[in-house]
Each structure stands twice: as structure tokens, then as C-alpha cells.
């Protein structure tokens, strides 16, 4: 029924997509997300079975009709992934403006708590005497 | 009565369109938003009444018959959650209105109100969706507006957190889409009622793989350990009122979807041990995390993660008692988590701090806020006679009544989790409220806080602050009401849970009875 090639393509898209998601650069993450989106859309398309005649009302032909249902779903999914990719790009741009780079930064608070644990001798539950200032959250 | 079913999401989406048109007029927005929110609450209340009378109501949008068309279903579970969520959404909106009207710190109202109303629509659609694809779209509507809200008035920190949040949510959405495609390939349907009939015929391994895939998808969205890492990292960075909405509803919507999909499409005779183990891990790691952190919002976020474990525990038992407990817990936690964040917003208004080692002396600054914090804090820890106690009691009874050793063990872990939550809350209470302001909190911070209080005492601002405080007080009271009406609520939840286990009513309404 379904071609093995497409299944392999889905596998490659997913592998490459997840690999890129692990990167620090936002642009690579966006590309990774786009690849993943294509992979998922292909899965949906594959779920509909083999290609067939156009699924039109009152159309009779020798070939069986293609299943229109997954195609409708793929169209919706494409629109959603498209919109969200645009948003991601806008955010990557904003990140570049605000932080001067498109690298995903470490979480300051997490780093502070880890550092605290390494430096302090007796593990004390109250961080009263914490030397480190809190996160420089400007909010 | 069928007209009522689409209203909870159609109304806010329409309202969002109007709000976009009026985006430059702050006053109009502040009137329009609560009006629409109140309309949604009314529609949801009507839906509860309709469901109480007629049982499960299914509507086929666009007139296409059940397995193909867009099905909306309202049953006891979704009606209950709809009315609770709509109320919480309205309360938080009023809080934002108070903030805006008081001229305290309004953050781009022209973006906030449309996005918030779209989020309302998305949340309501999640509860109403009767097929997997519609559920996916509902999640996307909800999440897309949450991305906007998350990065409202972007600071560097907010953009960093927003990026993590967006990328993780999107990954889970892509996995959702994949799971959807695989389900369609295996069964030829994505309609939940139809699926509940067809999954029984699948080979065991396919069934398990699909069930696990959905567990991962909703596990990421609902922050189940070990897929929770994004949540305490990103939620605290948003504006507090927005964190309140996220914490109250977004993860709960995922838990609802998990309950819905697992009970309808992958029902089980006995408890599921992987879910029980995950639940225990979530409870322990969440509550321990709450003890280590210093920032109040992070503490609350970890508490949220820990308490998702309780709901998962109820679901993992897969019997009426367990599901009853999970539903009660959902209701209790939606209210109480929103309240905690709203109170924290008031605390922040007084001191401008969220860090525990710089907070202090809040009980002296405002006894009112101290009381407002104390009640939900006790409730989330499960101290009687609050709603948390009622929900936890139902869960513990279910765990002990299930008769499996693992369930007994997880019940023990859940008790431990309550104690740890109580410790985390006590820590905030002692450090934030009871001790005097730490000396190292320098003069500048002191002056800033005094200046804030002076500004809040100005007559124009006072109205807004009053509104914010009364909204929070009403939310605290709502949490108490959940405990007061525990009897009717428990019996409603029990029938909702038996509907979930039984499934015939749902199937019948969707596949046989539904007409446009």
C-alpha cells in the first residue's frame, strides 16, 4: 500500500528535526521544528492510504477514491505550523534584539541554586545568607 | 439546548475579534472583556443545567454525521470543568481589569484582551471537543494565545523563558499530530466515540504503543515528571496574572484530555502500573522541588507539578473511585492554584519582591493578604476542612480501596507529598509573613516598597487595588465553597466518573443521537 520510501523520509525528517531541536541556536531550532512539522504532516498523509482518484461528490471512476479526511487534517495542520513558525521567527528576532544573540540562555535561577549547593558546606534549607543576588529580572 | 454547546468557545472568539477592533480603547476593552467572560460563565452554567437534565449532549457542527463531522460533546465531566474554568478565567480577567483601571501596571491591553479571550475560547473548546483532531486544534488555539501572553511586554528573561515554553509545547503538538496520524492509520477514525469501539479490535502492541504515545503527548503538556522540566523554568517568567491562568488551566486541560482519551479509547480493567509509577515520581519530585526554590513563583510552579501527580494517580487506578478523586482534585486545584498566584500578585504589589530571602514582614504590612494567602496554602496542602482535604481524601480512599500493593505504595507517597507541600507552604509563611524584614533588604528596597504603598493609597489607584483584592478574596471564598458543597460535588463527580468508565452513554449520544 504505502510506499516504503515515504516511511523512510518520515524517519529521516523526525531524526533531523529532533537533532536540530537540541541545538542552542534559535534559528536551528526553528528549522528543526519545520522539519518535524513536515514529518508529522507526512505521517497524516500516509495514514490516508494510497493515492487514488480525486474525492469529488458524484464522481464515478475505475480507480478508488483517495481518502479526503487526512488531507483536510493536513491542510489545517499546515496552516497551524505555518503560523507558529512565523511566531517563532519573530521571537528569535526579538531575542536577538534584547539579548544580542540567538543562543538559548541558561536559566539564571537554576544556575544559582546549583552554585549554592556546591559552595555552601552545611546544606541549609533557608537561603537567608545567600551571597548571590537573585535573578536580574527586570519585570 | 444544543445552541448552548458551541457558545462557550464561540462567544470568547467573537469577543476576541471585537477586542482586536477596539484595541486602542482601554476603557472599552475593560468593559468588553468581563462582559464576554460573564457570558461564558452563564453559557457554561446553562450547559451544566442541560447536562443534569438530559445527560450527554452531542452536537455535530456543520451537519456532517458523527464519525466524519466536527463533534462537540458536553457530559458531566466537561460541563463541570467548563463552569469552574470559566469562573476562574473571569476572576483573573477582573483582576487584570483592576490592575488596568487602577493605572498600576497595564501591559499592552490591546494585545492582552484579545489573546486572553482567545485563550478562553481554546480552553473551553478543549473541554468540548469530541474528536482527536478537534482536540488538537483546540490545544493549538489555547497554546498559540498562551505564547503571546507569555511574552507580553518582553524582557530578556521573558523571551528566554517564552522560547523554551514555545518550543516544548510545539514539540508535544507535533507528537500529538503524529499520534493522531498513527491512530487514523490503525483505526480509520479520530472520533473519540468511534475510537472507543474500534480500539478493542487492535492488536495489543499497537494499542499499547498508541496509549503510550498519548501519555507522552499529554504528559509533556501537563508536566508529568520526567517531562515537567519546562514548566518551573518558564511559568514564573510571565506576568503573575498570566502565570495564574496558565497554572490553573493549561496543565489541567492536558490532564482532562489525558483522562478523556485514555478512558474512552484505551480502557483498562485494572490500574496501570507505569502511570502509577509516574504519578508517584511526579508527586515526590514536584513537592521536593518546591522546597528547594527561593522564588515564590517557582515554588508554586513546582507545587503545581507535584499536584498533577495526584490527578494522574486517580486516573491510573482506572476505576470509578479513582476517577472521582481525580475529577474532584481537578476542580479543587484549578481554583486553588489560581488563587495562590493571585495572592502572590498582591504580595508583589506590596513589596515588589518574589524572592523568599528578600521577603519578610508581610503579615505586618497587610493582615488581609496574610489571611488570603493562608487559606489557599492550607487548602493546597490538604489540611481539613478545606477543599484540598476533600479531594485528597477521595483519592486516598480510592488508592486504599483498589487492593493492589503498588496503589498502596503510591497512596503512601501521596501522603508524603501532602506533608512536603505543607512544609513548602510553611516555609513561605515563616520567611515571607512572620519574620521581620531581613536587614540585608537595603534601604532602597524599603523605600521602593513604601513608595508603592503610597501610590496604591491614592484615591484613583485605590479603586483598582480594591477590585484586585476583592477578586482574590472571592477566589479564596470559592475555594472554601468547593469544600462546603463537597457532598453534591462528590456525587456529581462520581456520576461523571461512572460515565467515563461505562462509555455507553457517550457513544450513544455521539453516534446515534446527535443531530445538528
C-alpha distance from residue B103 to each of B144, B243, B351, B387, B455 (Å)? 28, 20, 17, 35, 10
Count the neighbouring beta carbons within 10 Å of the beta carbon of residue B84. Answer: 24
- CB-neighbour burial class of residue B255 (10 A; exposed 0-12, middle 13-18, buried 19+): buried
pLDDT of residue B157: 83
Q: Are the beta carbons of A91 and B159 separated by less than 8 Å?
A: yes
Q: Are the beta carbons of A139 and B158 separated by less than 8 Å?
A: yes
Is B442 within 8 Å of chain A by CB?
A: no
Is B105 within 8 Å of chain A by CB?
A: no
Q: Which residue of A has its CA nearest to B168?
A: A21
CA angle B304, B285, A21 (to 5 degrees): 80
pLDDT of residue B443: 66
Q: Are the beta carbons of A29 and B159 separated by less than 8 Å?
A: no
Is B70 within 8 Å of chain A by CB?
A: no
Predicted confidence band at A120 (pLDDT cuts at 50, 70, 90)? low
Alpha-carbon distance A18 to nearest alpha carbon in chain B (angstroms) = 9
Q: Which residue of A has its CA nearest to B176?
A: A40
pLDDT of residue B245: 94
pLDDT of residue A131: 41
From chain A residues 73-92, the ones with a CB under 8 A of any chain B CB are: 73, 76-77, 80, 83-84, 87-88, 91-92
Set of chain A residues whose Cβ sits within 8 Å of the Cβ of B431:
126
pLDDT in tens, A22-72: 988 888 999 999 999 999 999 998 888 777 788 777 777 777 888 888 888
Set of chain B residues whose Cβ sits within 8 Å of the Cβ of A92:
163
pLDDT of residue B105: 63
* Domains observed in chain A: 4-54+65-121 (1.10.287.3510)
Predicted confidence band at B302 (pLDDT cuts at 50, 70, 90)? very high
Gap between the Cα atoms of B250 and B261, Å rounded? 17
Set of chain B residues whose Cβ sits within 8 Å of the Cβ of A47:
181-182, 184-185
pLDDT of residue B483: 92
Gap between the Cα atoms of A26 and A91, Å rounded? 9
Set of chain B residues whose Cβ sits within 8 Å of the Cβ of A100:
none
Alpha-carbon distance B437 to nearest alpha carbon in chain A (angstroms) = 11
pLDDT of residue B349: 81
pLDDT in tens, A87-107: 999 888 888 888 777 777 777
Q: Are the beta carbons of A113 and B166 separated by less than 8 Å?
A: no
Q: Which residue of A has its CA nearest to B163?
A: A91
Residue with more model confidence, B102 or B226:
B226
- Read off the C-alpha cell for B236: 514564573
- For testing contact with chain A, the best of B107, B155, B178 (most A CBs within 10 A): B178
- CB-neighbour burial class of residue B379 (10 A; exposed 0-12, middle 13-18, buried 19+): buried
> For residue B508, is pLDDT > 70?
yes
State the average pLDDT over residues B388-395: 94
> For residue A128, is pLDDT > 70?
no
| Cα end-to-end distance, chain B, whole Å | 11
Alpha-carbon distance A32 to nearest alpha carbon in chain B (angstroms) = 10
State the average pLDDT over residues B29-40: 94
Predicted confidence band at B133 (pLDDT cuts at 50, 70, 90)? very high
% of chain A surpassing 90 pLDDT: 33
> For residue B231, is pLDDT > 70?
yes
Is A9 within 8 Å of chain B by CB?
A: no
What pTM, to 2 d.p., does this model score? 0.92
Q: Are the beta carbons of A113 and B157 separated by less than 8 Å?
A: no
What sign for the dihedral angle of Cα A81, B70, B114, B298?
negative
pLDDT of residue A134: 41
Gap between the Cα atoms of B305 and B312, Å rounded? 11
Set of chain B residues whose Cβ sits within 8 Å of the Cβ of A31:
none
pLDDT of residue B126: 96
Q: Are the beta carbons of B184 and A47 separated by less than 8 Å?
A: yes
Predicted confidence band at A129 (pLDDT cuts at 50, 70, 90)? very low
Gap between the Cα atoms of B119 and B64, Å rounded? 27
User: Among partner residues B185, B357, B438, which is closest to A47 by beta-carbon distance?
Assistant: B185
Residue with more model confidence, B456 or B120:
B120
> For residue B514, is pLDDT > 60?
no
SS3 A106: coil
> For residue A136, is pLDDT > 50?
no
Is B181 within 8 Å of chain A by CB?
A: yes
Q: Are the beta carbons of B438 and A80 separated by less than 8 Å?
A: no
Predicted confidence band at B340 (pLDDT cuts at 50, 70, 90)? very high
> For residue B465, is pLDDT > 70?
yes
Lowest mean pLDDT among B37-46, B60-69, B370-379, B411-420: B60-69
Gap between the Cα atoms of B95 and B465, Å rounded? 9
> For residue B76, is pLDDT > 90?
yes
pLDDT in tens, B347-382: 888 877 888 888 878 888 888 999 999 999 999 999
- DSSP letter assigned to residue A58: T
% of chain B surpassing 70 pLDDT: 95
Q: Are the beta carbons of B291 and A33 separated by less than 8 Å?
A: no
Is A29 within 8 Å of chain B by CB?
A: yes
Alpha-carbon distance A137 to nearest alpha carbon in chain B (angstroms) = 7
% of chain B surpassing 90 pLDDT: 65
Set of chain A residues whose Cβ sits within 8 Å of the Cβ of B182:
43, 47
State the average pLDDT over residues A13-20: 95
> For residue B447, is pLDDT > 50?
yes
Size of interface A-B (CB pairs under 8 A): 134
Residue with more model confidence, B23 or B246:
B246
Gap between the Cα atoms of A51 and A65, Å rounded? 8
What is the rounded average pLDDT for all residues in chain B? 90
pLDDT in tens, B160-215: 888 889 999 999 999 999 999 999 999 988 999 999 989 888 898 999 999 999 99
Predicted confidence band at B38 (pLDDT cuts at 50, 70, 90)? very high
> For residue B422, is pLDDT > 60?
yes
From chain B residues 233-252, the ones with a CB under 8 A of any chain A CB are: 233, 236-237, 239
Residue with more model confidence, A76 or B100:
A76
User: Among partner residues B156, B163, B356, which is closest to A26 by beta-carbon distance?
Assistant: B163
Amino acid at each position: 500500500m504505502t510506499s516504503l520510501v515515504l516511511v523512510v523520509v518520515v524517519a529521516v525528517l523526525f531524526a533531523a528535526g529532533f537533532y536540530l531541536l537540541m541545538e542552542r541556536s534559535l534559528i536551528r531550532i526553528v528549522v528543526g521544528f519545520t522539519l518535524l512539522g513536515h514529518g508529522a504532516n507526512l505521517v497524516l498523509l500516509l495514514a490516508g492510504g494510497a493515492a487514488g482518484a480525486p474525492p469529488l461528490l458524484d464522481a464515478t471512476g475505475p480507480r478508488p477514491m483517495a481518502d479526503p479526511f487526512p488531507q483536510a487534517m493536513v491542510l489545517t495542520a499546515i496552516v497551524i505550523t505555518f503560523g507558529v513558525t512565523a511566531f517563532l521567527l519573530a521571537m528569535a528576532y526579538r531575542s536577538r534584539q534584547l539579548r544580542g544573540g540567538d543562543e538559548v540562555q541558561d536559566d539564571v535561577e537554576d544556575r544559582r541554586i546549583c552554585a549554592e549547593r556546591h559552595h555552601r558546606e552545611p546544606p541549609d534549607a533557608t537561603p537567608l545568607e545567600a551571597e548571590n543576588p537573585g535573578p536580574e529580572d527586570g519585570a | 439546548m444544543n445552541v448552548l454547546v458551541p457558545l462557550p468557545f464561540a462567544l470568547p472568539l467573537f469577543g476576541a475579534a471585537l477586542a482586536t477592533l477596539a484595541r486602542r480603547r482601554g476603557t472599552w476593552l475593560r468593559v468588553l472583556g468581563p462582559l464576554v467572560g460573564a457570558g461564558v460563565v452563564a453559557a457554561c452554567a446553562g450547559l451544566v443545567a442541560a447536562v443534569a437534565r438530559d445527560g450527554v449532549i452531542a452536537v455535530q457542527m456543520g451537519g456532517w454525521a458523527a464519525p466524519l463531522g466536527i463533534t462537540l460533546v458536553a457530559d458531566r465531566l466537561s460541563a463541570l470543568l467548563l463552569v469552574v474554568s470559566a469562573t476562574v478565567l473571569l476572576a483573573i480577567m477582573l483582576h487584570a481589569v483592576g490592575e488596568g483601571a487602577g493605572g498600576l501596571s497595564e501591559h499592552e491591553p490591546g494585545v492582552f484582551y484579545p489573546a486572553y479571550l482567545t485563550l478562553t475560547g481554546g480552553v473551553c473548546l478543549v473541554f468540548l471537543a469530541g474528536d482527536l483532531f478537534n482536540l488538537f486544534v483546540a490545544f493549538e488555539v489555547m497554546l498559540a494565545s498562551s505564547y503571546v501572553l507569555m511574552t507580553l511586554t518582553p524582557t530578556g528573561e521573558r523571551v528566554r523563558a517564552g522560547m523554551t515554553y514555545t518550543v516544548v509545547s510545539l514539540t508535544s503538538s507535533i507528537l500529538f499530530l503524529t499520534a493522531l496520524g498513527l491512530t487514523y492509520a490503525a483505526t480509520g477514525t479520530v472520533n473519540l466515540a468511534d475510537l472507543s469501539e474500534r480500539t478493542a479490535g487492535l492488536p495489543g502492541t499497537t494499542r499499547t504503543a498508541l496509549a503510550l504515545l498519548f501519555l507522552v503527548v499529554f504528559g509533556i503538556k501537563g508536566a508529568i515528571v520526567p517531562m515537567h522540566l519546562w514548566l518551573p523554568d518558564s511559568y514564573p517568567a510571565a506576568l503573575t496574572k498570566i502565570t495564574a491562568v496558565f497554572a490553573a488551566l493549561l496543565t489541567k486541560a492536558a490532564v482532562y484530555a489525558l483522562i478523556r482519551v485514555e478512558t474512552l479509547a484505551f480502557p483498562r480493567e485494572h490500574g496501570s502500573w507505569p502511570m502509577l509509577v509516574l504519578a508517584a515520581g511526579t508527586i515526590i519530585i514536584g513537592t521536593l522541588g518546591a522546597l528547594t526554590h527561593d522564588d515564590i513563583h517557582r515554588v508554586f510552579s513546582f507545587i503545581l507539578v507535584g499536584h498533577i501527580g495526584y490527578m494522574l494517580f486517580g486516573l491510573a487506578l482506572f476505576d470509578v473511585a479513582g476517577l472521582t478523586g481525580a475529577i474532584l482534585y481537578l476542580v479543587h486545584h484549578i481554583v486553588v492554584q489560581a488563587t495562590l498566584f493571585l495572592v502572590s500578585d498582591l504580595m508583589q504589589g506590596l513589596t515588589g519582591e518574589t524572592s523568599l530571602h528578600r521577603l519578610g514582614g508581610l503579615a505586618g504590612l497587610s493582615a488581609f493578604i496574610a489571611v488570603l494567602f493562608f487559606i489557599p496554602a492550607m487548602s493546597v496542602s490538604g489540611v481539613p476542612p478545606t477543599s484540598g482535604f476533600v479531594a485528597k481524601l477521595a483519592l486516598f480512599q480510592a488508592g486504599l480501596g483498589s487492593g493492589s500493593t503498588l496503589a498502596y505504595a503510591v497512596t503512601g507517597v501521596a501522603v508524603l507529598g501532602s506533608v512536603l507541600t505543607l512544609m513548602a507552604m510553611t516555609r513561605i509563611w515563616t520567611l515571607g509573613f512572620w519574620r521581620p524584614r531581613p536587614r540585608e533588604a537595603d534601604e532602597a528596597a524599603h523605600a521602593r516598597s513604601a513608595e508603592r504603598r503610597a501610590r496604591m493609597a491614592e484615591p484613583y489607584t485605590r479603586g483598582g487595588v480594591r477590585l484586585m483584592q476583592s477578586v482574590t478574596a472571592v477566589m479564596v471564598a470559592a475555594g472554601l465553597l468547593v469544600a462546603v458543597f463537597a457532598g453534591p460535588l462528590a456525587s456529581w463527580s462520581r456520576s461523571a466518573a461512572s460515565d467515563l468508565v461505562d462509555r455507553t452513554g457517550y457513544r450513544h449520544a455521539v453516534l446515534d443521537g446527535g443531530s445538528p
